[in-house]
Amino acid sequence: MKTYKYYDFILAAFVCVLLCSNLIGAAKAAEMTLPWIGTVTFGAGVLFFPISYIFGDILTEVYGYGRDRRVVWAGFGALIFASFMSIVVLALPAASDPFNQGYQEHLNAVFGNTPRIMLASVLAFWCGSFSNSYVLAKMKIWTKGRLLWSRTIGSTLVGEAVDSGLFYVLAFYGIWPTHQVVAVAVAQYVLKTTWEIVMTPVTYRVVAFLKAKEHEDYYDRHTNFSPFKIS
């Protein structure tokens, strides 16, 4: 397999963003009052999670669907381990001093629903990421490598719809009021896709840099798109 200078760094950055946005920001519903729109409710992780989709676009555009698939599986494994670790840490009895007893309560409040959130995160991330990568890879062939903006935005519209639709229903239905689940999912989708549009100039620069440095501009003409392969 051809080796690359920057592929491993992008993989590590992708996994870092994925873990932080799912563990730190996913469980909090935030509110902001925007001019002409009013009060908008959204998941706090929306500020950072879309970066993982930008990485996915860059990986597929430069290295191809197959190498992005390896990164998705790396993120999948990281999320599974983080879920397992949180379950073990919360299950361990806390020391009897007042500080640790109080700290245990805070951990339970923040991470007590982690198994459900992580299951929703894993399924939504897995389905959304592969949808995003597949659409971008196919659109690259259809557009013959032109109009990069159309496939980065188009693939994100599909991938984020799958991701947000699955995650908020699986993670918070029955915990939050139904209207709040719907409102947050819709706001999340709009904000994520808006992020993609805003970041398009940055995506263009990173893609151009990597294509020049890696001497790669992969077209998935003969790719096996099964999400269950690693190679």
Contact of 8 with 67, CB cutoff 8 Å: no
Q: What is the pLDDT of residue 55?
A: 92
pLDDT band for position 43 (50/70/90)? low
Tokens representing 227?
Answer: 């999400």
Higher pLDDT, 1 or 89: 89
Residue 37 maps to a domain: yes
Q: What is the pLDDT of residue 67?
A: 94
Residue 112 maps to a domain: yes
Lowest mean pLDDT among 8-17, 18-27, 44-53: 18-27
Residue 2 maps to a domain: no
Helix, strand or coil for residue 215? Answer: coil
Tokens representing 81?
Answer: 């381990």
Helix, strand or coil for residue 165? Answer: helix
Residue 169 maps to a domain: yes
Q: Tens of pLDDT along 181-200? A: 888 788 778 888 888 889 99
Contact of 64 with 3, CB cutoff 8 Å: no
Q: What is the pLDDT of residue 26?
A: 59
Residue 23 maps to a domain: yes
pLDDT band for position 175 (50/70/90)? confident
Q: What is the mean predicted confidence (pLDDT) over 83-108?
A: 86
The one-letter amino acid code at 183 reads A
Query: Cα separation of 135 and 38, whole Å?
Result: 34
Highest mean pLDDT among 44-48, 68-72, 196-200: 68-72
Give the domain CATH number at 205: 1.10.1760
Q: What is the mean predicted confidence (pLDDT) over 4-29?
A: 83
Q: What is the pLDDT of residue 56?
A: 92
Higher pLDDT, 169 or 36: 169
Q: What is the pLDDT of residue 1?
A: 65
Lowest mean pLDDT among 94-103, 188-197, 219-228: 188-197
The C-alpha R_g of the chain, in whole angstroms, comes to 19
Structural domains of the chain, count: 1
Domain range for 32: 7-214
Hey, which bits of the chain come out as E strands? Answer: 29-34, 38-43
Residue 32 maps to a domain: yes
